[in-house]
Structure 1
Amino acid sequence: MSKKKGEGLKSFNRGFNVPDTYIIIFFVVVIAAVMTFLVPKGYYETEDVTYLMNGVEKTRTVIKDGSFQYLTDAAGKPVTEGVALFSGDGGTGFFNYMYNGIISSSAIEIIAFLMVVGGAFGIMIRTGAVEAGLIGLIRKAKGAEKLLIPVLFVLFSLGGAVFGMGEEALPFTMILCPLFVAVGYDTVIAVLVTYVATQIGFGSSWMNPFSVGIAQGIAGVDVFSGAGFRMVMWVVFTALGCGMTMFYAAKVKKTPEISVAYESDQYFRDQNEKTGIDEGHSFGIGHILVLVTLAVTVVWVIWGVMAKGYYMAEIATQFFIMGIVAGVIGVIFHLNDMKVNDIAVSFKDGAKDLIGAALVVAMAQGIMQVLGGSDPTTPTVINTIMYGISQALAGLSGAAAAVLMYVFQSVFNFFVVSGSGQAAITMPIMAPLADLLGVSRQTSVLAFQLGDAFTNLIVPTSGCLIGSLAIAKIEWSNWIKFMWKFLGILMIGAVITILIAVAIGF
């Protein structure tokens, strides 16, 4: 990949340059701002509905079917209100998008998560225990690195399917990037077996409480029903993703220069040379204790998510505790010649590596702020856009409508990356619309979950994706060069799955 000095532009190919991710998002904000001058504001009425999740009755606020209204003036005409360039009273303005994005509740939690977990794993990585253990294992068993790919892919996909693993994969990307580079692969594979695998599991899940569970509850479908069909779907998509990853890994192993990350991976090659990862490590009791700390933390996180409903705040704290314990062990056993101050330095370095990703998360949330936010009862442009798209689907055949629902969910995911958030906004409209079009509500949920997850692999508004790429030092433009074929195959598979669901009356 070539880079023009001073311009920050990354090349897809000759004659065409793609701007930095920050520039791309800025232009998206510009488009959003222009839309506020063209699209009138609209809103819905809501009501509370109850549904069962794991045998417990819960209540959720949903949009009333047919309740959409335009905000009108005294003459009864729809109101169009363009966003101001600057707001001096704490409100929404075009140039306020950065700050408002940072302080928005949905962004600040992800940003804090990235900083804390990044710092914690900075300490963990500084001990050298993970690299020492895995590299030692790989060197003792020739070809064992090949087994890491399918094993890790299945495990992370299972994490996405069972408890909605997403942000939790970021720390493991930190560990695997230097490892895969050291054994002759690239950082693309590290992202594939962690973040990409979780999203494939997320999209094909049969029991993810944060997407399938919420969507089915809103749609009035028994929560976690249709598990048999979805389990088969998970196996197929996981096998497909794993197979494509292994095929790519074999090509990169043979010809490393074909990797879109070949140049950026020099960072990890240099780091591996400095830390001696390519030379092998002694493996003692200190390394074992650090790895035990990591393993216990992973089990603790899974237990917390499954049994206690832990989310980012609790998970970040769990990893923070892990980092402190690992640092103390590193100092006591002099791992990589660690001293007390190295705990603080490595924490700062780990957090610093994710500052760029944190700012992208903030800017992505700023887009929704410019469009007025996602509250269905507040007159906003996004509500009107939702209404217009839902009306455009009326009158289509069941199969065509189901596929277009999937396409719509895939596009809408650009604006609302959160699975539970997208379910809360779209399913109250898509579920009753499915009734009118002869599509089962179960299939409308299927279209939602597939559309919600797979485009997370490319959209720059996904904080998890950008965080993973930042860890791997991969430019978003380079990632798109690699991922478009991968995603295309997944999306074709998604369309086929939806058509099968319609055909069998799922």
Structure 2
Amino acid sequence: MPDTLVIIFFVALAAALLTYIIPTGSFQTQEVSYLTEGIEKSRSVIDPSSFAYALDDKGEPQLAPVGLFEGNGGAGFFNFAFEGLVSGSKWGSAIGVIMFMLVIGGSFGVVMATGTIDNGILKLIDKTRGNEALFIPVIFVLFSLGGAVFGMGEEAIAFAIIICPLMIRLGYDGITTVMVTYVATQIGFASSWMNPFSVAIAQSIADVPVLSGSGVRVVMWGGFTLMALAFTLRYANKVKRDPEYSFSYHSDAHFRESQSKASLDCRFNLGDILVLMTIVATLVWVIWGVVSQAWFIPEIASQFFTMGIVIGIIGVVFKLNAMKINDIAISFKQGAATMLEPCILVGCAAGILILLGNGGPSEPSVLNTILNSAGNLIGQLPDALSAWFMLIFQTVFNFFVTSGSGQAALTMPLMAPLADLVGVTRQVSVLAFQLGDGFSNALVPTSASLMATLGVCRVDWGDWLKFIWRFMLALFVLSSVVVVGAHYLGFS
């Protein structure tokens, strides 16, 4: 399997070639209001009837082929890596996510330098010997709930840093860690009954009562969570019986080697207790901030940076691993350095979208043309087939727009009226959106959170693809049954 960066390069090449074939187009936008948690908000969405091709001097649809190089800040093919790395803002992909990864990587570098995690894992295993099998179900369900209730996603990266060494010490692997953290959040995200970043926005745009259909979605969440948990447990148990069965066995060597070098005297003193208390307090504080104060990347990164400083001071005062003041800075830099590879992948993946036109719906782009063409195709299909094709479209389109709220703003103004035309309820169109958007986040390399979680667990995306494709196929089949079944049952 080629390296992840090689795969991204050829995907970028394919995106560049599309610009020589597909003309650019744009939509007009309009403001819609919606309620979330009792607060009225507004969002700019496309007017589905306003699509128009950009025309050349002859009045023909205009192509905007990407050149090899572009000056003056343009996006040529060989500019895509740099442009992707610096795209976005502190609020999101790519530069915001990259800086977030560097800060939490550095902070947890300080945590790991104290030795508390290694010794705490040994102590935990010793105290819970015989009950290790409970870790995976409990952690998976909690993360799935996090995704369902408050749209947890990026937060899983920080948890994965802590959980991965524990999983490997218990006899599992890095892939199991990705499943119980990030993938679990996306199971909850996709099947949620109240996610403010997907269901609430999509229902508002589709003019469906916000949080309606919750009873059906709660049952759906339970079913998908149990299915994913069963798949995870089956794989994890195989790895525990035969470690070389693991798809990430070679990359897990880093954690096995670091654990073999760790002190086996299981030091655990007041300093270690204070370090763990600081970590737990930070995680609880961050979850509270996300749920009640709508914290996002900048605020979360600041809390983890503060945690790193506090834990560094504790390490120096209690001489954990003979830590000194300079060791705080050294371990922070080393922790941040481990994030370099996933940061590059996140930036390059963002560059692919820039090649296709990253200017939004009101600026001519290939992406807008693809969106309009898909809508026209779906509008000509029979009702049940239209519902299924909505799911397929949302799944594929998530490769280009991995933001749940962003995809809702782009696609739901188009899908909701189409649903009326072909005899599909708007509630079913929202269902197709949330399942297609959420589940594919666990596969597409353009998902910054997925690539970051794989990075901290040292799992190559190629190895991840070899592992996850069967699970993704099963999810898609079950999602298809749910969407088509909901249509026939008149879910509204």
TM-score range relative to shorter protein: over 0.9
The AA in structure 1 aligned to 2:431 is: L
Deviation (angstroms), 1:312: 0.5
Alignment of 1:371-382 (within 5 A): 371-382=356-367
The SS at the match of 1:49 is: strand
Structure 2 residue 77 is matched with structure 1 residue 94: yes
Structure 2 residue 225 is matched with structure 1 residue 238: yes
Deviation (angstroms), 1:374: 4.8
Asked if the contact 2:118–2:262 (Cα under 8 Å) also holds between the matched residues in 1, the reply is no
Q: 2:187 is matched with which residue: 200, 220, 227?
A: 200
Q: 2:303 is matched with which residue: 300, 309, 318?
A: 318
Structure 2 residue 415 is matched with structure 1 residue 436: no
Q: Which residue of 2 aligns with 1:70?
A: 53
Q: Which residue of 2 aligns with 1:307?
A: 292
Deviation (angstroms), 1:161: 1.0
The AA in structure 2 aligned to 1:231 is: V
Structure 2 residue 26 is matched with structure 1 residue 43: yes
Q: Which residue of 2 aligns with 1:466?
A: 451
Q: Which residue of 2 aligns with 1:218?
A: 205
Asked if the contact 1:305–1:311 (Cα under 8 Å) also holds between the matched residues in 2, the reply is yes
TM-score by length of 2: 0.96
Structure 2 residue 472 is matched with structure 1 residue 493: no
Q: Which residue of 1 aligns with 2:176?
A: 189
Q: Which residue of 2 aligns with 1:121?
A: 108
Asked if the contact 1:173–1:471 (Cα under 8 Å) also holds between the matched residues in 2, the reply is yes
Asked if the contact 1:374–1:425 (Cα under 8 Å) also holds between the matched residues in 2, the reply is no
Q: 1:135 is matched with which residue: 122, 131, 142?
A: 122
Structure 2 residue 234 is matched with structure 1 residue 247: yes
The AA in structure 2 aligned to 1:369 is: I
Distance 1:135 1:435, change over 3 A: farther
Structure 2 residue 485 is matched with structure 1 residue 504: no
Deviation (angstroms), 1:268: 0.9
- Cα distance in 2 for partners of 1:159, 1:336 equals 34
Structure 2 residue 44 is matched with structure 1 residue 57: no
- Cα distance in 1 for partners of 2:281, 2:64 equals 53
* Number of residue-to-residue matches in the alignment: 487
Could you report, residue by residue, the CA deviation over 1:406-458 in whole angstroms, capped at 9, with x for unpaired residues?
Answer: 11111111111111111121111111111111111111111111111211222
Asked if the contact 2:395–2:436 (Cα under 8 Å) also holds between the matched residues in 1, the reply is yes
Structure 2 residue 422 is matched with structure 1 residue 422: no
- Cα distance in 1 for partners of 2:351, 2:295 equals 26
Runs of 4+ that moved beyond 6 A:
none
Q: Which residue of 1 aligns with 2:276?
A: 291
Q: Which residue of 2 aligns with 1:397?
A: 382
Give the RMSD, CA atoms, in angstroms. Answer: 1.4
- Cα distance in 1 for partners of 2:471, 2:96 equals 30
- Cα distance in 2 for partners of 1:127, 1:494 equals 45
Deviation (angstroms), 1:133: 2.8
331-340 or 379-388, larger mean C-alpha shift: 331-340
Asked if the contact 1:368–1:374 (Cα under 8 Å) also holds between the matched residues in 2, the reply is no
Structure 2 residue 8 is matched with structure 1 residue 25: yes
- Cα distance in 2 for partners of 1:120, 1:219 equals 42
Distance 1:181 1:280, change over 3 A: farther
Distance 1:331 1:144, change over 3 A: farther
The AA in structure 1 aligned to 2:82 is: Y
- Cα distance in 1 for partners of 2:269, 2:489 equals 57
Q: 1:351 is matched with which residue: 336, 352, 367?
A: 336
Could you report, residue by residue, the CA deviation over 1:79-132 in whole angstroms, capped at 9, with x for unpaired residues?
Answer: 112122211111222211111111111311111111111111111222232333
Asked if the contact 1:124–1:323 (Cα under 8 Å) also holds between the matched residues in 2, the reply is yes
- Cα distance in 2 for partners of 1:25, 1:421 equals 22
Q: 1:330 is matched with which residue: 315, 318, 321?
A: 315
Deviation (angstroms), 1:280: 5.4
- Cα distance in 2 for partners of 1:382, 1:495 equals 25
Could you report, residue by residue, the CA deviation over 1:131-172 in whole angstroms, capped at 9, with x for unpaired residues?
Answer: 333431221222222111001001111111111111111111
Asked if the contact 2:34–2:201 (Cα under 8 Å) also holds between the matched residues in 1, the reply is no
The SS at the match of 1:271 is: helix
The AA in structure 1 aligned to 2:42 is: T
Distance 1:477 1:280, change over 3 A: farther
The SS at the match of 1:80 is: coil
Asked if the contact 1:374–1:382 (Cα under 8 Å) also holds between the matched residues in 2, the reply is no
Deviation (angstroms), 1:464: 1.5
- Cα distance in 2 for partners of 1:25, 1:460 equals 8
Unaligned segments of structure 1, at least 5 residues: 1-17
- Cα distance in 1 for partners of 2:265, 2:132 equals 15
- Cα distance in 2 for partners of 1:188, 1:251 equals 12
The SS at the match of 1:75 is: coil
Structure 2 residue 435 is matched with structure 1 residue 450: yes
The AA in structure 2 aligned to 1:222 is: P
Asked if the contact 2:118–2:259 (Cα under 8 Å) also holds between the matched residues in 1, the reply is no
- Cα distance in 2 for partners of 1:424, 1:374 equals 14
Unaligned segments of structure 2, at least 5 residues: none
